[in-house]
Amino acid sequence: MILGLTPATSGRVEILGANDGRKVRDRIGFLPEERGLYRKMTPVDAIAFFAGLKGVPLGEGRRRARVMLEAQGLGEASNKKMKDLSKGMAQKVQLIAALAHEPEFVILDEPFSGLDPMNQQGLEVMIRDIASKGATVLFSTHVMQHAERLCDKVVLIAGGQKAFEGTVDEARATAPRFLELEGAIAPEAVAACRGWSRWRARIWAKRAASGRRWRPAARARRR
């Protein structure tokens, strides 16, 4: 709806002062969840191509592509075929392609999906860099750690409805953290852990092949 590809069934969406995303699409960068770059293109060609769709001249697009690839440690891969890159490298290239026209508003759909921890960390750095240059970044994720580290504001959706909107600190206060342990540990030991309180013991029944086995569990809330 923000991009103007799907009409709103009710209400309205305003983006960059326009009530139709199609009117300002050259000012928006979009990374879809379903990745797709031409496999026989090089990263430089792919980035320049997508920048060209947003009005960037080919020569300038290729220059920006080389600079951005080098900044992300992909300089040596700039002339390889996309099909020869790792998934993490290809995902970085696609993100660069969404940014090469220097958008004011960036939409990232599940940008961390399928990436290993190292590439996730690198992507977080890229997102911070985008925001530090003045762009607004909107991204969806199922991994709350990314939202905690990156977001000024979060919106939680449950069952198609907005369940929460506010800052990360407000979200933490609304949904306190719990630690749940299962195994041979006394509830008193959990309660004595630094920074944890309000413990309560619970008994979990586990059925083993030889019969019934009981194991204690404890739950504690972080102060």
Note the pLDDT of residue 143: 86
- CA-to-CA separations, 36 to 40, 87, 139, in angstroms, rounded: 12, 11, 18
Note the pLDDT of residue 181: 59
**Backbone φ/ψ region at 113: left (φ over 0), alpha (ψ -120 to 50), beta:** beta
Place of tokens 């709350």: 144
Q: Which residues of the chain have pLDDT under 50?
A: 197-223
Paired residues of 178 in beta bridges: 221
N residues, the chain: 223
> Would the pTM count as exceeding 0.85?
no
Query: Which tens digits make up the pLDDT trace of 44-87?
Result: 999 999 999 999 999 999 999 999 999 888 898 988 999 999 88
- Residue 171: phi, psi to the nearest 5? -65, -40
Task: Name the nearest CA neighbour of 183 among 199, 163, 202, 158.
Answer: 202
Note the pLDDT of residue 121: 87
Note the pLDDT of residue 208: 41
Task: Name the nearest CA neighbour of 3 among 151, 109, 129, 128.
Answer: 109
- Cα torsion 55, 57, 63, 68 to 10°: value is 10
